[in-house]
Amino acid sequence: MEPLLQQLKSFSQQPYNRECADCGDTGEPMNRTWISTNLGVFLCINCAGVHRELGTHISNVMCLELDVWDNEHLIEHIMKIGNKVANQNWLAHGSPGLRRVYLKALRSDRKLLTSFIEAKYTGKDFEMPSSASLTATEFLESAGQKEKQKASGAKRVCSGLLRAKLVKGVNLSAKGSDSSNPFISLSCADQTIESKVKNNPSPDFNQTLMLNIPEQNDGIVTIHCRDSNGDFGSTLLGSTTIRLDALGNGEECFMLLQFQPRGELVCIFEFTSLLA
């Protein structure tokens, strides 16, 4: 067990593991010897505290120097992951500069730090999509489509990816109403993705959506704002469109979208073409 523990300590000194997986802290060695054993990430003492508040069903935190490490399978699990591999998943849909923009603020603002970590691990706002995030019905429908495509030899071609960082909504409610449960949907051709439902008409979304852009498309993305009625569906509050050719390729574009008949949404778009 001792040689394996020494390997874990050596693993903790690799470049990506020498800074906190969440806030990027590179302080005193003792400040970054905290590990979320199930997530396989190395943390500073502040972020470790937030992880413990999430609950052990989300993140189980141990200290490399203070706790007893007597589970070799656990150590092997951590060494298969580490900060680099973990963040390739947990921040897969975040902007490359996502943490860099907020690093200083994250380390000085406990509330912002907590919100970011909750969004990352509980809300899974930036996570790489997987079948585990689908409902049972969506999973079966997806599997059925894949089988049909496999049987027919058909191959879907994706021409690009549109990343939409939803920041802030204003007056996302029906005219004459001061309450709503708004959510945003993005559509291009036969592809659609939806945001989480919020419980007020001027919400902080703080969510990133990724929309696959099919090869056959008209270059227009339709954005709908809808009011969720729970089990009874939703009501359209407003719509607008953007053109992909107005976004450039690989460049962030800040936009204030104005829905018709009312409502506004602050967004940051980035379109990445996958075609040569």
Span 58-87, average pLDDT:
91
| pLDDT at residue 156 in the model | 42
How many CB atoms are located within 10 Å of the residue 71 CB?
13
| pLDDT at residue 214 in the model | 84
Q: How far lies 31's CA from each of 46, 78, 120, 215, 271, in Å?
A: 8, 18, 21, 48, 38
| pLDDT at residue 48 in the model | 94
| pLDDT at residue 202 in the model | 92
Residues 12-39: tens digit of each pLDDT: 999 999 999 988 888 765 565 899 999 9
Span 155-182, average pLDDT:
83
Does an H or E element contain 42, and which?
A: strand 41-43
Structure-token pair, residue 138 = 């969506």
Q: How far lies 204's CA from each of 58, 110, 199, 264, in Å?
A: 24, 18, 10, 12
Give the residue from 208, 248, 257 showing the smallest Cα distance to 98: 208
| pLDDT at residue 144 in the model | 47
Per-residue pLDDT for 90 more than 80? yes
pTM of the predicted structure, to 2 decimals: 0.49
Q: How far lies 143's CA from each of 10, 103, 194, 214, in Å?
A: 42, 40, 20, 19
List Cβ neighbours of 87 (8 Å cut-off, separation of 6 or more): 21, 41
Residue 8 identity (one-letter amino acid): L
pLDDT > 70: percent of the chain? 79
What's the per-residue H, E or C state across 89-105? HHCCCCCCCHHHHHHHH
| pLDDT at residue 233 in the model | 87
Residues 99-125: tens digit of each pLDDT: 555 566 667 778 778 878 888 888 776
Residues 216-270: tens digit of each pLDDT: 888 899 999 999 988 788 999 999 999 998 888 888 888 889 887 888 999 999 8
Per-residue pLDDT for 11 more than 60? yes
Residues 124-155: tens digit of each pLDDT: 766 665 433 434 344 344 444 444 544 544 44
Does an H or E element contain 258, and which?
A: strand 252-258
pLDDT > 90: percent of the chain? 39
Yes or no: say if 194 and 175 are a contact pair by the CB < 8 Å rule.
no
CA pair distance 91, 71, nearest whole angstrom? 28
Per-residue pLDDT for 10 more than 70? yes
